[in-house]
Chain A
C-alpha cells in the first residue's frame, strides 16, 4: 500500500515535470510535497541502529583485513630477507659501545637488553634535567614578558618569538655544530675556575667521590624533607586554629640545607673530588660531560622554555584584575596577594599545558639521534635496529616506552584536573 503511493507520487512528479518544463519554477516547486510523503514504517535499511551496526562491522572488517594483510606480508618479507622475529635478540651480545652510560655497559659483555636500559636512562636523564631547567627559564621569561620594564619585556618577546619559530633540529645543529664543536681541543682546553675545563670533548669537571659515611648525609637530607613537610602541615593547622603564622619558608630552607650539612661535618666530610689533571696531550680523570649531552640539554631547555613562557604569560593574564584589586581591598600586601590569590589561580590555567610541554620535551629528546647523543632512539631504534634488522620489535618497544610515559602523565593530569576544576553550581 505504502509502496504504491510513493511510486505513484514519484511518477506524478515526473509527469508534471515533463509537462511544465517551460513554465515558471513556482509551479514545479508546488508539486514537491507529494513526493516527500514518507512511508509509515521505515524499512530495515533505514533503521539507524542497524545502520550503525553495519558501519561498525564494515570498519572492523576493513581494519582487520589491513592488519591481517600487513602481518602476512611482514611474515613473508621477513622470511625472504632471512630476518629472525620475536624478542630473542634481547639477550644477544650487543658488540658496540656507548660513550655516556649510567649503568655499566661494554661492547664485549653486554646485551641488546642492557643497551635498551642505557638508552632509556639517558633519555630520562636529559628529559628530567631539561624539565627542571626549562621550568625555571620559562617562568622567568614569561614573567619578564609581562614586566613593566620595557627593555626586559621586549628582550623576552624577541626570545620567545625567535625560539618558537625555528625548528628544534636547527637549534640543536646550531648548539652542537656551531657552538660546541669549534671549542679548542683537549690540549688547549679553556680552564674555568674550580678545576673545570671546557674543550671540544665536553665539560670536564671534578668527579665527586662519595665515602661510605656519605649515606648518613643522604639519610639526613630525606629526614629533613620529611620534617619540613611535617612542620608545614602542623603550622598550617596551627594557623587555622589560632591565626599565628610561622616562618615556613626559612624553617624549611634551614632544615633541608642545615641538617645534611651538619651531618656532613659530623661524619667527617666523607666527600672528596677527583680533579681532572692537565696532561701533555689530554686531560685525565674528572667527570666528563659530553658535548652531545650539553647541546641537547641546552637546545631542549631553551626551546621548551619559549613555550612555557607563553603558557605562564597566558596563565597570569587569565587571572582577572579584579582579583588583585579585591585582595588589595582586603588589606593584603603585594607579596601575599601574589602568593595567596594570583598564583594559585594562575596555576590552574598553567599546569595542564605545562604538563603537555613537559611531555613534548621528553618526546623531543628523541632528536638526540641527529647529534649523536645516545638516547633511547639513537641506541635502540638506531644502532640495535641496524644490527638486528628486527624493525617491528624494536620500533614497537620504543613506541611502547614513549606511549607509557605519555599515558601515565595524562592519567595523573586527569586526576589533577578533576581535583582542581572549579566546582560550579
Chain B
C-alpha cells in the first residue's frame, strides 16, 4: 500500500498516527471506582459503610483528643490532672504513668538493688533474641543459656541472700570441676572412652587438643564466666536478700511468663512423648494429666497451688507465696504445650521413625536427633500461640494476691496521690498498650515463621 493508493481511497479521513492511550474511565479504575466497588456496591453495603463511618467519626476524634490533645504529660501529683486546677478540659493523665513508671516495672523492689533486675532483663532479652532469631549462631549454646543459665542466674540475682550465695559457690565449684575434668580429658583421651562412642572419640582425637570435646566445653566455659561475673558482683556490690513479697510489676509478669516458657517446653515434650508412648501406664498417666489440666480453668489450678500445695509438703518446706502460682502456671502451660507438640509428632511421616530405627538408633537417640528437631520446628507457630495465651494468663495471678503488672496498675488507681477522674482510663490504656505490644509482636513472629515454613510447600 502506497501513499498514492491511500489518497485515492474513497475515505474522507484516514488516521495515520496511533491515538494516545486514554486513561480508563472513572467508573472502572481510580479512587471513585474503588469507592463504588468496595464501599457502595449495593444498598446493604452502603448502609454498612455509613454505619462504620459513623462509628469511626464519632469515636476516633474523641479518643485522639482524650489521649493526645487534652492529655497531661508532666506533673508531680493529681493537681496536674484536675480540670478545675488546670483550667482546661483534661484528657489522659500521662504524668501519672511517668511518675509511677518505675513502680510498674519493678514493683516494690528496693531502689538501690534494681540494677540486679536490669541485668536479668538484659539476659532475658538476649536469650529471647538468641532463641527466636532463626539464623543466630550457636543455637545449642543459646538453648543452654535460655533454659539453664537464665533461670539459675535470675534466681541468684533476683533473690540474693545467704541461700543464693552458698548455691552460687556450689555452682562455681561444680562448673570448675567439670572444666578441669574436660581439660584433663582433652589431653588424656583414653579416660573418655568409657562413655564417649568410639567413632566420636576417633574424630575428636584427629583434632588438636584445644578443639576436642567442643560441645560441652563451650557450655561449661559459659557457665564459669556467668557464675564468675555474678560472684564478682556479689563481692563488689553485695546481693542482699530481696523477699519475693517486694517483687512486682512487669518484672513479675515477665518472670511468670519466662518460668512458664522455660519449664513448660521440656515438660510438654516429655508429656507429648508419654502420650504417644506404647507403654500403657506411661500413656495413661500422661493422658490423665493432660486432659485433667486442660479441662479445668487456670484459676482453679492457681487456687489449688495456693491452698493445697502448702498442705502437700511438710510445714517447714512450705513453698514461697510467689513460687506457688509459678508451679501452677508451669504445669498448666505444660499440658497445653504437650498437645501442640503432639500435633508436631503426629505430622512427622512414619518413614522418619523407621529410617531412624533402621540406622540402629535407640528411642531417645531417635527422638533427640531425628524426630524432635523436625517436630518442634513445624509447631513453632503453635508454641508461640501457646506463649501468647500464657502471657495473657499471667494476669490471673492477680487473683491469688501476686503483684504482677496489672495488679500494680490497680494498686496505683486506689492511691489518692493520683486519684483523678481520668487516671483509670490512662492506667488501663497503658496496660493495654503493654500487653498488646507483647502479644501482637509474638503473633507477628509466629506468622513470619509460618510463612517461612510454608515456603517449601508453595506451588
The answer to whether the Cβ of B431 comes within 8 Å of any Cβ in the partner chain is yes
CA distance A392 to B305 in the complex (A): 11
Residue from B190, B281, B315, B398 in contact with A17 in the complex, judged by beta carbons closer than 8 Å: B190
Closest chain A CB from B376 CB (angstroms): 23
Interface size on A, residues (CB 8 A): 64
What are the residues of chain B within 8 A of A78 when measuring CB–CB? 311
Closest chain A CB from B257 CB (angstroms): 12
What are the residues of chain A within 8 A of B199 when measuring CB–CB? 29, 32
**Which residues of A155-194 have CB atoms within 8 Å of chain B's CB atoms?**
155, 161-162, 164-170, 173-174, 177-178
Closest chain B CB from A158 CB (angstroms): 10
CA distance A14 to B299 in the complex (A): 60
CA distance A33 to B60 in the complex (A): 76
Closest to B388 in A: A165
Q: Mark A390-425, 1 if CB is under 8 A from B, else 0.
A: 011001001100110111000000000000000000
Given contacts A21-B205, A59-B282, A366-B297, contact A152 B52 (CB under 8 A): yes
What are the residues of chain A within 8 A of B243 when measuring CB–CB? none
CA distance A377 to B52 in the complex (A): 39
- Check A25 against B205 for contact (C-beta < 8 Å): yes
- Check B56 against A395 for contact (C-beta < 8 Å): no
Q: DSSP class of A's interface residues: helix, strand, loop or mixed?
A: helix
Residue from B297, B315, B395, B425 in contact with A169 in the complex, judged by beta carbons closer than 8 Å: B395
The answer to whether the Cβ of A210 comes within 8 Å of any Cβ in the partner chain is no
Closest chain B CB from A273 CB (angstroms): 32
Closest chain A CB from B132 CB (angstroms): 18
Closest chain B CB from A137 CB (angstroms): 15
- Check A367 against B396 for contact (C-beta < 8 Å): yes
Q: Mark B299-312, 1 if CB is under 8 A from A, else 0.
A: 11001100110111
- Check B38 against A150 for contact (C-beta < 8 Å): yes
The answer to whether the Cβ of B193 comes within 8 Å of any Cβ in the partner chain is yes
The answer to whether the Cβ of A387 comes within 8 Å of any Cβ in the partner chain is no
The answer to whether the Cβ of B416 comes within 8 Å of any Cβ in the partner chain is no
What are the residues of chain A within 8 A of B296 when measuring CB–CB? 363, 399, 402-403, 406
The answer to whether the Cβ of A225 comes within 8 Å of any Cβ in the partner chain is no
B-binding segment of A69-77, A128-136, A198-206, A261-269:
A69-77
Residue from A69, A73, A152, A381 in contact with B49 in the complex, judged by beta carbons closer than 8 Å: A152
Given contacts A14-B193, A395-B307, contact A381 B300 (CB under 8 A): yes
- Check B299 against A18 for contact (C-beta < 8 Å): no
What are the residues of chain B within 8 A of A170 when measuring CB–CB? 395, 406, 428, 431-432, 435
Given contacts A151-B49, A173-B410, contact A167 B299 (CB under 8 A): no
Closest to A181 in B: B424
CA distance A215 to B52 in the complex (A): 44
A-binding segment of B102-110, B151-159, B167-175, B287-295:
B287-295
- Check B295 against A402 for contact (C-beta < 8 Å): yes
- Check B312 against A399 for contact (C-beta < 8 Å): no
CA distance A167 to B391 in the complex (A): 8
The answer to whether the Cβ of B203 comes within 8 Å of any Cβ in the partner chain is yes
The answer to whether the Cβ of B386 comes within 8 Å of any Cβ in the partner chain is no
What are the residues of chain B within 8 A of A395 when measuring CB–CB? 300, 303-304, 307-308
Q: Mark B175-205, 1 if CB is under 8 A from A, else 0.
A: 0000000000000011001000011011101
The answer to whether the Cβ of B234 comes within 8 Å of any Cβ in the partner chain is no
CA distance A80 to B318 in the complex (A): 14
Closest chain B CB from A66 CB (angstroms): 9
- Check B398 against A35 for contact (C-beta < 8 Å): no
- Check B310 against A77 for contact (C-beta < 8 Å): yes
- Check B281 against A56 for contact (C-beta < 8 Å): yes
**Which residues of B112-128 have CB atoms within 8 Å of chain A's CB atoms?**
none
What are the residues of chain A within 8 A of B314 when measuring CB–CB? 73, 76-77
- Check A402 against B436 for contact (C-beta < 8 Å): no
- Check A148 against B41 for contact (C-beta < 8 Å): yes
The answer to whether the Cβ of A355 comes within 8 Å of any Cβ in the partner chain is no
The answer to whether the Cβ of A385 comes within 8 Å of any Cβ in the partner chain is yes
- Check A17 against B300 for contact (C-beta < 8 Å): no
- Check A167 against B392 for contact (C-beta < 8 Å): yes
**Which residues of B405-427 have CB atoms within 8 Å of chain A's CB atoms?**
406, 410, 413, 424-425
Residue from A18, A28, A177, A402 in contact with B300 in the complex, judged by beta carbons closer than 8 Å: A402
**Which residues of B256-296 have CB atoms within 8 Å of chain A's CB atoms?**
278-282, 285, 291-292, 294-296
What are the residues of chain B within 8 A of A70 when measuring CB–CB? 312-313
CA distance A70 to B201 in the complex (A): 46
What are the residues of chain B within 8 A of A56 when measuring CB–CB? 279-282
Given contacts A21-B205, A151-B56, A406-B294, contact A385 B307 (CB under 8 A): yes
Closest chain B CB from A18 CB (angstroms): 7
Closest to A25 in B: B206
Residue from A24, A25, A377 in contact with B297 in the complex, judged by beta carbons closer than 8 Å: A377
What are the residues of chain B within 8 A of A155 when measuring CB–CB? 52, 55-56
The answer to whether the Cβ of A63 comes within 8 Å of any Cβ in the partner chain is yes
- Check A13 against B39 for contact (C-beta < 8 Å): no
Closest to B397 in A: A169
CA distance A21 to B189 in the complex (A): 10
CA distance A87 to B362 in the complex (A): 50
Can you sample 10 A-B contacts with CB below 8 Å? A60-B281, A63-B285, A73-B311, A155-B52, A155-B55, A162-B436, A167-B393, A366-B299, A377-B297, A385-B307
B-side interface residues toward A, CB under 8 Å? 37-39, 41, 45, 48-49, 52-53, 55-56, 189-190, 193, 198-199, 201-203, 205-206, 278-282, 285, 291-292, 294-300, 303-304, 307-308, 310-315, 388, 392-396, 398-399, 406, 410, 413, 424-425, 428, 431-432, 435-436, 439-440, 443
A-side interface residues toward B, CB under 8 Å? 13-14, 17-18, 21, 24-25, 28-29, 32, 35, 52, 55-56, 59-60, 63, 69-70, 73-74, 76-78, 80, 147-152, 155, 161-162, 164-170, 173-174, 177-178, 363-364, 366-367, 369-370, 377, 381, 385, 391-392, 395, 398-399, 402-403, 405-407
Known A18-B190, A377-B303; further 13 A-B contacts with Cβ < 8 A: A14-B193, A25-B205, A35-B198, A59-B282, A155-B56, A165-B435, A165-B436, A166-B439, A167-B394, A170-B406, A381-B300, A391-B308, A406-B294
